[in-house]
Amino acid sequence: MNGTEVYLDHAATTVVREEAIEAMSRVMRDVGNASSLHATGRRARRYVEEARESIAEAVGAHPIEIILTSGATEADNLAVKGLHRLRHKENPRRKTLIVSPAEHHAVLDTARWLQSDEGADLAWAEVDRYGAVTSDSLRAAIATAGDTATAVAVMWANNEVGAISDIPALAAMAAVEGVPMHSDAVQAVGVLPIDFAASGLETMAITAHKVGGPQGVGALVARRSFKPTPLLHGGGQERQIRSGTLDVAGAVGFGVAIAAATAEMRNHRERVGVLRERLIARLRTVVPDLDVNGVPENDPGRTLPGILSVSIPGCSGDALLMVLDTNGISVSTGSACTAGVAEPSHVVLAMGGSEERARSTLRISMGRTTTEADLDALVEAFPEAVLRARAAAGVR
């Protein structure tokens, strides 16, 4: 990364840890397919299984419950499609998938595809004004679905606004109704204590590149009872759920990174939480009409410490992003672009925000390499960037 850049988009991907790079480099010098039976293959398999054990330990799972994938998008697809199809096959009356409208698109788009291509019905577990799914909203969604429910999908912590949902409580509620639950825990791992065994979840998606590992490798954490129709057919790797030659170096990098992130978790959470609270106060000083999306700063235990979502009236988030980018500052918006057309943040809309607020959203996300100097640079550039973005929108 260029030394002149200020990187504040750690929720998108974070800096790869040096220890992960070193471990991957060592492994990549070895030849071996982890599915081969000879000595080099067995050595590669040992690397993978040691990594699997590290990943499992970090999230409170058994190693056999770790199914290595290309990332969380694949894991979410495996889980949501797998759970829905399994339950529908057992009982054709079951065809209602319960999801939160604030989910990552890896879950939302999968649910909508099941709706359009396989006849699934969708019931919505609405989020509160902070972006979290409550017990009341899930109870209402389960009541709507009745005995037609196939599965529930609620993310552990929201990737745009940082709101944390009480996943064990929600999973327990779903279990009373006999409905399995999946959670995208990508943003939570390495920041919050995660215990899959105690969570009540049937499946959970995680990924390496949010904890300082490489991009392109993740895992579906799944109970042994989870036996879906695979998305990929071939060699039968990963409990015959995910065929394909294993990325040995990627798995090793994932294992090293998630172990390090878990070991540092408490200190990281406290340090970055302090940075977030200071940043909110400083940004409000230079842009007084700035609004915070999500959990208010006086209740930090309900939000991820590293994610700050703000809306600036009269200011397009996309325009503000580009102005800050010209100043060497990397942030993101809450919007998703489809075919080059910027759309308002579906998360802010799900929270009850107006379309104007959803279009004026900016996400600032901090990680283990974020410094006070990074935030100084952002605060210094922010007022002028807001003025320029408002001027581009014709607002004075």
> Cα dihedral angle (250, 254, 255, 256), rounded to 10 degrees?
100
At 126-179, the pLDDT tens digits run: 999 999 999 999 999 999 999 999 999 999 999 999 999 999 999 999 999 999
Asked, for residue 76, whether it belongs to a domain, the answer is yes
Boundary-marking domain end, from 262, 293, 314: 262
Question: Quick check: is 67 in a domain?
Answer: yes
Q: CA separation (Å) from 159 to 156, 164, 311, 330?
A: 9, 10, 16, 17
Task: With respect to residue 273, please indicate whether it lies within any of the assigned structural domains.
Answer: yes
In a domain, 6, yes or no: no
Quick one: which of 297, 295, 291 has its CA closest to 278?
A: 297
- Could you tell me what percent of the chain has a pLDDT over 90? 93
Q: Does residue 117 fall inside a structural domain? A: yes
Helix, strand or coil for residue 240?
Answer: helix
Last residue of a domain, one of 242, 262, 282: 262
- Dig out the tokens for 382 from the structure: 């922010």
Within this chain, do residues 301 and 279 fall inside the same structural domain, yes or no?
yes
176/243 same-domain check: yes
The catalytic residue among 263, 274, 337, 395 is: 337
Question: Token pair of 279, please?
Answer: 């940043």
**pLDDT tens column, 333-369:** 965 444 355 789 999 999 999 999 999 999 999 999 9
Closest CA to 219 of 73, 338, 30, 22: 73
Would you say residue 136 lies in a domain? yes
Q: What is the DSSP string of 293-353?
A: ESS-TT-GGGB-TTEEEEE-TT--HHHHHHHHHHTTEE-EES--EETTEE---HHHHHTT-
Q: Is 128 in contact with 101 (CB distance < 8 Å)?
A: no
**Rg, the chain, Cα only:** 21
Shared domain for 153 and 89, answered yes or no, is yes
Looking at the structure, tell me whether residues 64 and 138 fall in a common domain: yes
Co-location of 220 and 300 in the same domain: no
Prediction pTM value: 0.95
pLDDT in tens, 299-323: 778 999 999 999 999 999 999 999 9
255 and 270 assigned to the same domain: no
Q: Which helix (H) or strand (E) holds 163?
A: none
Note whether 248 and 341 are same-domain residues: no
Q: Within this chain, do residues 257 and 273 fall inside the same structural domain, yes or no?
A: no
Looking at the structure, do residues 178 and 66 belong to the same domain, yes or no? yes
Classify residue 239: in a domain, yes or no: yes
pLDDT of amino acid 146? 95
Q: Do both 118 and 212 map to the same domain?
A: yes
Residue 5 maps to a domain: no
Which of 262, 289, 306 terminates a domain? The answer is 262
123 shares a domain with 87: yes
Domain residues for 61?
Answer: 18-262
Q: Say how many domains are in the chain.
A: 2
Predicted confidence at residue 299, as pLDDT, reads: 77
276 pLDDT above the threshold of 60: yes
Give pLDDT tens digits for 38-95: 999 999 999 999 999 999 999 999 999 999 999 999 999 999 999 999 999 999 999 9
Mean pLDDT (the chain) is 94
What distance, in Å, lies between the first and last C-alpha atoms of the chain? 36
For 44-99, the DSSP string reads: HHHHHHHHHHHHHHHHT--GGGEEEESSHHHHHHHHHHHHHHHHHHH-TT--EEEE
What per-residue confidence (pLDDT) applies to 165?
97
CATH code of the domain covering residue 300: 3.90.1150.10
Look at residue 393 in the predicted model and tell me its pLDDT.
Answer: 79
Residue 9 has pLDDT above 90, yes or no: yes
Together in a domain, 116 and 251: yes
337 is catalytic: yes
Please tell me the predicted confidence (pLDDT) of residue 301: 85
CATH number at residue 69: 3.40.640.10
